[in-house]
Amino acid sequence: MAVTHLVDQSSRRWAPRVRRAGQWFIACVCMSLATGCAGGTTVPVSALVPLTLPEQALSQAAIRSAEQQLRGEINFWLGTPYQLGGTSRRGIDCSGFVQQIYRSAFAIDLPRTAAEQGLVGESVALSDLQPGDLLFFRIRETRNHVGIYLGGDDFVHASPHCGVSIASLSSPHWQHAFQSARRLPRG
Protein backbone atom coordinates (compact mmCIF):
# COMPACT_ATOMS: atom_id res chain seq x y z
CA MET A 1 0.00 0.00 0.00
CA ALA A 2 2.80 2.41 0.78
CA VAL A 3 4.29 1.94 -2.69
CA THR A 4 0.92 2.54 -4.36
CA HIS A 5 0.47 5.66 -2.29
CA LEU A 6 3.90 6.97 -3.37
CA VAL A 7 3.20 6.23 -7.03
CA ASP A 8 -0.16 8.01 -6.85
CA GLN A 9 1.43 11.08 -5.25
CA SER A 10 4.26 11.08 -7.79
CA SER A 11 1.92 10.82 -10.79
CA ARG A 12 -0.27 13.62 -9.41
CA ARG A 13 2.78 15.80 -8.99
CA TRP A 14 4.11 15.16 -12.53
CA ALA A 15 0.81 15.08 -14.44
CA PRO A 16 0.43 18.90 -14.63
CA ARG A 17 4.05 19.25 -15.78
CA VAL A 18 3.63 16.62 -18.49
CA ARG A 19 0.36 18.24 -19.60
CA ARG A 20 2.04 21.69 -19.74
CA ALA A 21 4.99 20.24 -21.67
CA GLY A 22 2.59 18.71 -24.19
CA GLN A 23 0.74 22.00 -24.55
CA TRP A 24 4.04 23.83 -24.96
CA PHE A 25 5.13 21.38 -27.67
CA ILE A 26 1.84 21.78 -29.57
CA ALA A 27 2.07 25.58 -29.28
CA CYS A 28 5.65 25.51 -30.66
CA VAL A 29 4.63 23.34 -33.61
CA CYS A 30 1.66 25.61 -34.38
CA MET A 31 3.82 28.72 -34.03
CA SER A 32 6.41 27.36 -36.47
CA LEU A 33 3.67 26.58 -38.98
CA ALA A 34 2.01 29.97 -38.49
CA THR A 35 5.26 31.87 -38.93
CA GLY A 36 6.18 30.18 -42.16
CA CYS A 37 8.88 27.80 -40.93
CA ALA A 38 7.17 25.07 -42.92
CA GLY A 39 8.69 26.58 -46.07
CA GLY A 40 5.46 27.60 -47.80
CA THR A 41 5.24 30.62 -50.03
CA THR A 42 2.47 33.17 -50.00
CA VAL A 43 0.44 34.18 -53.01
CA PRO A 44 -0.44 37.86 -53.48
CA VAL A 45 -4.15 38.60 -53.88
CA SER A 46 -3.51 40.05 -57.34
CA ALA A 47 -2.50 36.55 -58.52
CA LEU A 48 -5.80 34.98 -57.48
CA VAL A 49 -8.12 33.85 -60.25
CA PRO A 50 -11.87 34.09 -59.59
CA LEU A 51 -13.68 30.76 -59.22
CA THR A 52 -16.54 29.64 -61.37
CA LEU A 53 -18.31 27.68 -58.67
CA PRO A 54 -20.18 24.91 -60.55
CA GLU A 55 -17.08 23.85 -62.54
CA GLN A 56 -14.61 24.03 -59.68
CA ALA A 57 -16.69 22.88 -56.72
CA LEU A 58 -14.54 21.26 -54.05
CA SER A 59 -14.99 17.53 -53.48
CA GLN A 60 -16.33 16.43 -50.11
CA ALA A 61 -12.87 15.12 -49.14
CA ALA A 62 -11.29 18.47 -49.97
CA ILE A 63 -13.97 20.26 -47.95
CA ARG A 64 -13.32 18.04 -44.91
CA SER A 65 -9.58 18.54 -45.34
CA ALA A 66 -9.98 22.34 -45.48
CA GLU A 67 -12.14 22.24 -42.36
CA GLN A 68 -9.57 20.13 -40.46
CA GLN A 69 -6.71 22.36 -41.60
CA LEU A 70 -8.61 25.49 -40.54
CA ARG A 71 -9.56 24.10 -37.15
CA GLY A 72 -5.92 23.13 -36.54
CA GLU A 73 -4.71 26.65 -37.32
CA ILE A 74 -7.53 28.25 -35.37
CA ASN A 75 -6.85 26.24 -32.20
CA PHE A 76 -3.57 28.15 -31.89
CA TRP A 77 -5.42 31.49 -31.91
CA LEU A 78 -8.47 30.68 -29.75
CA GLY A 79 -8.60 32.94 -26.71
CA THR A 80 -6.33 35.62 -28.19
CA PRO A 81 -7.60 38.99 -26.94
CA TYR A 82 -9.07 41.53 -29.33
CA GLN A 83 -6.96 44.57 -30.15
CA LEU A 84 -7.93 47.02 -32.89
CA GLY A 85 -5.08 46.99 -35.43
CA GLY A 86 -3.43 44.03 -33.71
CA THR A 87 -1.79 41.21 -35.64
CA SER A 88 -0.23 38.97 -32.97
CA ARG A 89 -1.15 36.56 -30.17
CA ARG A 90 -0.93 39.51 -27.76
CA GLY A 91 -3.94 41.06 -29.52
CA ILE A 92 -5.59 40.87 -32.94
CA ASP A 93 -8.59 42.33 -34.74
CA CYS A 94 -11.01 40.52 -37.06
CA SER A 95 -9.34 41.31 -40.38
CA GLY A 96 -5.85 40.74 -38.98
CA PHE A 97 -6.99 37.34 -37.71
CA VAL A 98 -8.46 36.37 -41.10
CA GLN A 99 -5.29 37.59 -42.80
CA GLN A 100 -3.10 35.45 -40.49
CA ILE A 101 -5.24 32.32 -40.90
CA TYR A 102 -5.34 32.57 -44.69
CA ARG A 103 -1.58 33.10 -44.80
CA SER A 104 -0.80 30.10 -42.58
CA ALA A 105 -3.53 27.69 -43.75
CA PHE A 106 -3.65 28.47 -47.47
CA ALA A 107 -0.48 30.53 -48.22
CA ILE A 108 -2.67 33.40 -49.46
CA ASP A 109 -1.97 37.03 -48.60
CA LEU A 110 -5.18 38.97 -48.07
CA PRO A 111 -5.57 42.73 -47.77
CA ARG A 112 -5.46 44.11 -44.22
CA THR A 113 -8.99 45.49 -43.69
CA ALA A 114 -12.38 43.78 -43.70
CA ALA A 115 -13.62 46.23 -46.36
CA GLU A 116 -10.72 45.32 -48.68
CA GLN A 117 -11.11 41.60 -47.95
CA GLY A 118 -14.76 41.91 -48.99
CA LEU A 119 -13.63 42.72 -52.53
CA VAL A 120 -11.61 39.54 -53.21
CA GLY A 121 -12.88 36.17 -54.40
CA GLU A 122 -16.36 35.26 -55.56
CA SER A 123 -19.68 35.86 -53.88
CA VAL A 124 -21.23 32.75 -52.29
CA ALA A 125 -24.82 32.16 -51.17
CA LEU A 126 -25.32 31.44 -47.49
CA SER A 127 -26.79 28.04 -48.43
CA ASP A 128 -23.60 27.10 -50.37
CA LEU A 129 -20.99 27.88 -47.70
CA GLN A 130 -17.88 25.72 -47.43
CA PRO A 131 -15.21 25.73 -44.70
CA GLY A 132 -12.82 28.61 -45.28
CA ASP A 133 -15.34 30.96 -46.87
CA LEU A 134 -15.16 34.52 -45.58
CA LEU A 135 -18.26 35.88 -43.82
CA PHE A 136 -18.91 39.61 -43.70
CA PHE A 137 -21.10 41.36 -41.17
CA ARG A 138 -22.23 44.93 -40.63
CA ILE A 139 -22.17 45.99 -36.99
CA ARG A 140 -23.93 49.19 -35.86
CA GLU A 141 -24.15 50.56 -39.43
CA THR A 142 -20.56 51.82 -39.31
CA ARG A 143 -18.28 48.87 -38.79
CA ASN A 144 -17.34 46.01 -41.10
CA HIS A 145 -16.62 42.65 -39.45
CA VAL A 146 -15.19 39.48 -40.98
CA GLY A 147 -14.98 35.86 -39.87
CA ILE A 148 -14.21 32.45 -41.39
CA TYR A 149 -16.86 29.77 -41.89
CA LEU A 150 -15.86 26.46 -40.27
CA GLY A 151 -18.70 24.18 -41.31
CA GLY A 152 -22.01 23.23 -39.80
CA ASP A 153 -23.24 26.33 -38.03
CA ASP A 154 -19.83 27.56 -36.82
CA PHE A 155 -17.60 30.44 -37.76
CA VAL A 156 -14.53 31.87 -36.10
CA HIS A 157 -13.74 35.56 -35.65
CA ALA A 158 -11.93 38.03 -33.44
CA SER A 159 -14.60 39.77 -31.39
CA PRO A 160 -14.10 42.90 -29.26
CA HIS A 161 -16.05 41.15 -26.49
CA CYS A 162 -14.63 37.60 -26.61
CA GLY A 163 -11.36 37.81 -28.56
CA VAL A 164 -10.78 34.97 -31.01
CA SER A 165 -13.74 32.65 -30.56
CA ILE A 166 -16.14 30.37 -32.37
CA ALA A 167 -19.70 31.63 -32.82
CA SER A 168 -22.95 30.30 -34.27
CA LEU A 169 -24.37 31.66 -37.51
CA SER A 170 -27.84 30.84 -36.25
CA SER A 171 -27.50 33.32 -33.40
CA PRO A 172 -30.06 36.12 -33.91
CA HIS A 173 -27.28 38.71 -33.54
CA TRP A 174 -25.19 37.24 -36.36
CA GLN A 175 -28.19 36.49 -38.59
CA HIS A 176 -29.22 40.13 -38.36
CA ALA A 177 -25.68 41.44 -38.97
CA PHE A 178 -24.81 39.06 -41.86
CA GLN A 179 -24.05 40.89 -45.14
CA SER A 180 -22.29 38.51 -47.53
CA ALA A 181 -19.94 35.57 -48.01
CA ARG A 182 -16.96 35.23 -50.33
CA ARG A 183 -14.85 32.30 -51.49
CA LEU A 184 -11.22 32.45 -52.50
CA PRO A 185 -9.51 29.73 -54.51
CA ARG A 186 -7.45 27.45 -52.30
CA GLY A 187 -5.35 24.67 -53.21
Every domain of the chain and the residues it spans: 1-39, 44-183
Question: In 41-142, which ranges are continuous DSSP H helix?
Answer: 60-77, 94-106, 114-117
Q: Which of 145, 161, 162, 176 is catalytic?
A: 145
> In the annotation, is 94 catalytic?
yes
Q: Which of 37, 157, 161, 162 is catalytic?
A: 157
> In the annotation, is 161 catalytic?
no
Phi and psi for 183 in degrees, rounded to 5?
A: -120, 135
Q: Are 84 and 21 in contact (CB under 8 A)?
A: no
From first to last of the 187 residues of the chain, give the pLDDT tens digit.
444 444 344 444 444 443 444 444 444 434 433 333 334 444 454 444 444 444 445 577 877 777 788 888 999 999 999 999 999 999 999 999 999 999 998 899 999 999 999 999 999 999 999 999 999 999 887 679 999 999 989 999 999 999 999 999 999 999 999 999 999 987 5
Query: CA 131 to CA 65: how far, in whole Å?
Result: 9
Residue 157: closest CA among 48, 149, 165, 175 = 165
Query: CA 94 to CA 113: how far, in whole Å?
Result: 9
Q: Specify the CATH superfamily of domain 44-183.
A: endopeptidase domain like (from Nostoc punctiforme) (3.90.1720.10)
> In the annotation, is 5 catalytic?
no
Instruction: Give the angle subtended at the CA of 93 by the CAs of 88 and 96, to the nearest 5°.
Output: 65
